[in-house]
Amino acid sequence: MGDMEAPLLTHYNSSSKCEFVEENEDLKQRFWVESKKLWIVVGPAIFSRISLYSTNVITQAFAGHLGDAEFAAISIVNNILTGLTYGFLLGMASALETLCGQAFGAKMYHMLGVYMQRSWIVLFLCCILLLPLYIFITPILKLLGQPQEVAELSGYVALWMIPLHFCFSIQLPLQRFLQCQLKNSVIAWASFIALIAHVGVSYLFVYGLRLGMVGTVATLNVSWWVSVIGMFLYVVCGGCPLTWTGFSIEAFSGLWDFLKLSISSGIMLCLENWYYKILILMTGNMKNAEIAVDALSVCMTINGWEMMIPLAFFAGAGIRVANELGAGNAKGARFAAIVSVTTSLVIGIFICLIIMIFHNPIGRIFSSSKPVLDAVNDLTVLLAFSILFNSVQPILSGVAVGSGWQAWVAYINIACYYIIGVPLGFLMEWVFHQGIGGVWAGMIFGGTALQTLILAIITIRCDWEKEGAKASEHVKKWST
């Protein structure tokens, strides 16, 4: 009996091993195929986002050598005011990732152009409503405890940023419209041309014409509008024959439902985007506020620069999940989410190591002040942790956008960030007196980490078949 069992056991083991190898090879092949689809979106998105954000970094670098007060003013307007409005508009535009992504997956191509026009209308109206923030930023900053000189300079800078503010209402929908139909190279080229224009105009305004702080800020308007004009001309001049059929009166129908979805998306993303902007405002009430603001602005600029990679994965994950759900492939949507998170996390770990090793030379790009550089060095570990969490959290938010969960994520963000994270940050400074590092640590581990954990649990426990059925209903509803 034993002699008979031995070959049977050997046969069973070899069969099981063969099946395991085949399954493993199949998984590798699926991962490779999905990665290629993902990188078609993510690769150009990283390039375009880094190119456009680099215009902000170049502006920060020029500002850092004008003086501490000028640097603080430009940092506040660039990182806080523009960051606040951009975050909300970015979130509202992300509604297109749900609608255009699912419509493209369902092969209802003509609706993409209509959705983009609706988004232009909604975002332009929101820009008008947000305009008072730019006009009255000086009294707002004084009320929040910022130094008087910094507040006055910030008000002057903010007026020069108004054209950039309205630029977002056209640029953000254009980007998502092109991304959802995988025309990412167009975005990349437009962004690259904008970056080149920004470098040239910056040297002209700052060193040639010696316009100082005004010239430093005004260059952003030129570069971002160059990007918008490039993408717009491509779309309207025949680059998207299936999805752009010209301006349509249909864009004005269904605006209320579109506005509600856009607002849900806007609240979801702006609550994430605003979270660390609050951190910069909180430093204005500390001792040596200018040094604290400058050091934190350097860290936030580096963090924001690196954040362009997770935000590209945010777009990629949202589009891939929406495409698969729109096509009725629930398992494909789940696998797209897994590949997106895994890839972004690996990249995030690598960048954390780079920041830890090269934080000194990186800091010198933005400031030559020794007190500022010393403060930046003290914050390096927290910067690394922030980058690590950011390599996962935005991608989970992208999965939420692709699935249409914006409203749920907005509630989660309110609870984690503003009911737990911000109060814990205040507690670390004003009760335990841990300074700027304590505030930042409280906000990272009290808000960001908790929010990431909750989103991960929701994504893992998601019923993807049910989400696929919902996506089919959404496509039918929004196409009528």
Contacts of 351-357 with C-beta under 8 Å, sequence gap 24+, read 351/306, 351/309, 351/387, 351/391, 352/384, 352/387, 352/388, 355/302, 355/306, 355/380, 355/383, 355/384, 355/387, 356/380, 356/381, 356/384
Closest CA to 450 of 402, 418, 407: 418
pLDDT band of residue 58 (cuts 50, 70, 90) is confident
Q: pLDDT averaged over the chain?
A: 80
pLDDT band of residue 332 (cuts 50, 70, 90) is confident
Question: CB neighbours of 357 closer than 8 A, spacing ≥ 6?
Answer: none
The pLDDT value given to residue 345: 92
Residue 177 has pLDDT above 60, yes or no: yes
Distance of CA 292 to the CA centre of its chain: 25
Distance CA 379, CA 359 (A): 10
Residue 185 has pLDDT above 90, yes or no: no
pLDDT band of residue 204 (cuts 50, 70, 90) is confident
Distance CA 179, CA 260 (A): 22
Of 11 and 109, more confident: 109
pLDDT band of residue 216 (cuts 50, 70, 90) is confident
The answer to whether the CB of 297 falls within 8 A of the CB of 280 is yes
Q: Nearest 5°: phi and psi at 420?
A: -110, -55
Angle between helices 330-364 and 380-390 (to 10 degrees): 160
Distance CA 321, CA 77 (A): 35
pLDDT band of residue 139 (cuts 50, 70, 90) is very high
State whether the Cα torsion 328-332-338-340 is positive or negative: negative
* Span 405-421, average pLDDT: 81
For 126, the 3-state DSSP assignment is helix
Distance CA 445, CA 455 (A): 15
Contacts of 435-438 with C-beta under 8 Å, sequence gap 24+, read 435/286, 436/283, 436/286, 436/292, 436/295, 436/296, 436/375, 436/379, 437/378, 437/379, 437/382
For 371, the 3-state DSSP assignment is helix
Residue 247 has pLDDT above 80, yes or no: yes
> How would you label 257-291 residue by residue, b for 16+ Cβ within 10 Å and e otherwise?
ebbebbbbbbbbbbbbbbbbbbbbbbbbebeebbb
Of 287 and 439, more confident: 439
CA dist list (Å): 236 to 81, 97, 177, 321: 32, 20, 12, 28
Closest CA to 445 of 396, 385, 395: 385
Closest CA to 94 of 233, 279, 273, 219: 273
Return the top range by mean pLDDT from 45-54, 341-350, 354-363, 458-467.
341-350
Instruction: Calculate what percentage of the chain has a pLDDT beyond 90.
Output: 13
* Span 26-47, average pLDDT: 87
pLDDT band of residue 12 (cuts 50, 70, 90) is very low
* Span 336-359, average pLDDT: 89
* Span 111-126, average pLDDT: 90
pLDDT band of residue 1 (cuts 50, 70, 90) is very low
Task: List the structure tokens of 382.
Answer: 């927290």
* Span 25-29, average pLDDT: 78
The pLDDT value given to residue 21: 47
